[in-house]
Amino acid sequence: MLNITNLHARIGEHEILKGLNLHIPPGEVHAIMGPNGSGKSTLASVLAGREDYEVTAGAVDFDGVDLLELEVTDRARAGLFLAFQYPVEIPGVSNMNFLRAALNGKREYQGLEPIGGRAFLELVQERSAWVQLDGRLKNRSVNEGFSGGEKKRNEIFQMAMLEPKLAILDETDSGLDIDALRIVSEGVNRMRSADRSFLVITHYQRLLDYIVPDRVHVLFDGVIVESGPKELALELEEKGYDWIKERVQ
């Protein structure tokens, strides 16, 4: 599904990704952990196409497509979804209009007719229930006045509506209390399937109790320095990152 080879990226003069390799097969959930400043969020931003970052070398194959050649919009339409660490508030744009525009954009890309109003509302009804997002939130402006937990639930709701092939969750657990963490995780688990992959970026092992990964990777100083089964996350939780840093240096 996702094949990253020797990815280098920088912001300004500052190189952040320094030859990253990552392979995620269809249907798998991979977690990326790592200390602050190791490049986790940069990786998410580069994949989603944020313009602040410049890719200087490497390749990203997304389900047979050269991802780096696609515009931001087309990456999303091709099936990439990024759940933001800090979801953006858009005053005045209703959540519903926003979602319908997004969904119809994707359908246009797939050569489908725009979704009808009734079908759309039914889908909203079903998917918002997955993350217990009540009607009050659905009808408000995008993320405006939402609490931290509500914003993250809204991200997962959007993901459920757009049904991506690959979802990147960028520190979706940050700022969540235990209940919200459980709700968000249940939403994600519900979306797991044989042809959908996940890249879960997190600081804490706790999230991985709920969203159990197939593989765990450690990102340090712009490269993946360690990969292992889900138990690796427990080891990191227990021992911290110092042993990895020492080994690398």
Partner 1 sequence: MSWEIAQDGPGGPADFREEVRTRLRHVPAPAAVETQGRAWLEALEGDWEDLGTDGGSEVREAARRALGQWPVPHRRLERWRFTPLTGLLGRRLRPGATSLPAGREVACPDWKGYRLVIWNGRWVPELSQLPVGVGVDVRNAKGAEERKGFHGDDWMGAVSTRFAQEGLQLRVADGVRLDAPILVESVLDGVDVAAFPTHRVVLGAGARATLIEWSHAAAGTTGFTGTTWEWELGENAEGAWHQVVDDAGQVHRQCHLAAEQQAGSRLETVSVLVRAAQVRNDWTLRLTGEGAHARMLGAYLPTGEERVAHYTTVDHRVPNCTSDEDYRGVLYDRAQGVFNGKIFVRPDAQKTEAYQRNANLVVGREAVMHSKPELEIYADDVKCSHGCTIGQIDDQALFYAQSRGIAEADARALLVEAFVGDVLRALPEGGVQEAVRKGWAARHGGFDNGEGWSDWTD
95 vs 205, beta carbon nearer partner 1 = 95
Kindly tell me which residue out of 38, 158, 197, 205 binds partner 1, with binding defined by CB under 8 A. 158
119 vs 178, beta carbon nearer partner 1 = 119
Kindly tell me which residue out of 12, 88, 111, 249 binds partner 1, with binding defined by CB under 8 A. 88
C-alpha pair distances (Å), 100 with each of 45, 104, 106, 108, 166? 24, 6, 10, 12, 20
Distance (Å, whole) CA 18 – CA 101: 36
111 binds partner 1 (CB under 8 A): no
2 binds partner 1 (CB under 8 A): no
Kindly tell me which residue out of 93, 123, 225, 234 binds partner 1, with binding defined by CB under 8 A. 93
153 binds partner 1 (CB under 8 A): no
Distance (Å, whole) CA 200 – CA 26: 14
C-alpha pair distances (Å), 170 with each of 107, 141, 180? 25, 22, 16
Question: What would the two tokens of residue 128 be?
Answer: 């918002």
Q: Least separation, in Å, of the C-beta of 198 and partner 1?
A: 17
Q: Least separation, in Å, of the C-beta of 181 and partner 1?
A: 23
207 binds partner 1 (CB under 8 A): no
11 binds partner 1 (CB under 8 A): no
101 vs 212, beta carbon nearer partner 1 = 101
Kindly tell me which residue out of 34, 39, 58, 87 binds partner 1, with binding defined by CB under 8 A. 87
Q: Least separation, in Å, of the C-beta of 87 and partner 1?
A: 7
* Count of residues touching partner 1 (by CB under 8 A): 38
106 binds partner 1 (CB under 8 A): yes
110 binds partner 1 (CB under 8 A): no
73 binds partner 1 (CB under 8 A): yes
Q: Least separation, in Å, of the C-beta of 178 and partner 1?
A: 27
Instruction: Please give the residue ranges that form the binding site for partner 1 (CB under 8 A).
Output: 48-51, 71-73, 75-77, 82, 84, 87-93, 97-106, 109, 114, 116-118, 141-142, 158, 162
